[in-house]
Copies of this chain bind each other. A is one copy, B any other.
């Protein structure tokens, strides 16, 4: 642990990395195994397919070694956690660690139930490459209530204590690994009116982890792509219903020039 100020990265370097990641996903079509909640499954699969990755979503415990073993990254989402999926997580995370696959933790709604917070805490001790959460969940895991902290303070603190990269999404996304810090100011308020947008973001970050070894850069790249696409989609949509088709279409077509024009990184 250090009390030194985190390093702010260069925006152009991060933008170039985001473009390289997107190109790599489209070229290599990585397989991403996503253990997620029932509301988010279809949307998450479509977000991954739209950028070029290949999702699988089985949560049968005994199938975890086969599916994690044939994937390049694992996403673990705690939303609507039923017993069978909890059991699958218990098989999938050790399999990912044994095989050297990066895995992401999305601690959905840990601020609303104590048992889930305990599980998230125990999973955080099993070396996820990346944690993605909203501010309320971040506050809950960092030992504070929702109102008592800002992402820009809580994310580096949790990153240091848990020795992982933390991506906190909100009006401004924050990525921190204890040493480095980045802010992404893209996105749209309309995304709060569409279900599973955070969960689908986590699924998408799985594809970026599959092609970029540095989870900090993978998170910045993925959040930039998602935020820029969300911003464009919100401009084109007439409301939350037309937003989702627009988001998928935009992710599918997103190019380097558009990303450069939109990026609000700091």
A41 to B195 Cα, complex, angstroms? 10
Question: Does A84 count as interface, using CB distance less than 8 angstroms?
Answer: yes
A244 to B84 Cα, complex, angstroms? 30
Contact B115 A63 (CB under 8 A): yes
Interface string of A156-175 (1 = CB under 8 A from B): 00000000000000000000
A254 to B24 Cα, complex, angstroms? 39
Question: Does A140 count as interface, using CB distance less than 8 angstroms?
Answer: no
A94 to B109 Cα, complex, angstroms? 23
Query: What are the residues of chain B within 8 A of A238 when measuring CB–CB?
Result: 249, 253
Closest Cβ–Cβ distance, residue A171 to chain B (whole Å): 17
A239 to B60 Cα, complex, angstroms? 32
Within 8 Å by CB of A113, from B63, B79, B82, B196, lies B63
Interface-facing stretch out of A44-52, A124-132, A209-217: A44-52
Question: Does A80 count as interface, using CB distance less than 8 angstroms?
Answer: yes
Q: How many copies does the complex hold?
A: 3
Assign chain A's interface to a size class.
Answer: 35 or more
Interface string of A36-59 (1 = CB under 8 A from B): 011101110110011000011111
Question: Does A66 count as interface, using CB distance less than 8 angstroms?
Answer: yes
A1 to B49 Cα, complex, angstroms? 41
Closest Cβ–Cβ distance, residue A75 to chain B (whole Å): 14
Closest Cβ–Cβ distance, residue A108 to chain B (whole Å): 9
Residue of B nearest to A65 (CB): B113
Query: What are the residues of chain B within 8 A of A42 when measuring CB–CB?
Result: 39, 42-43, 195-196
Residue of B nearest to A70 (CB): B112
Within 8 Å by CB of A50, from B115, B241, B250, lies B241
Question: Which A positions have Cβ atoms within 8 angstroms of B?
Answer: 37-39, 41-43, 45-46, 49-50, 55-60, 62-63, 66-67, 70, 79-84, 109, 112-116, 192-196, 237-242, 244-250, 252-253
Q: List 8 A-B contacts (CB under 8 A).
A: A39-B41, A42-B195, A46-B194, A83-B84, A238-B253, A239-B252, A241-B244, A241-B252
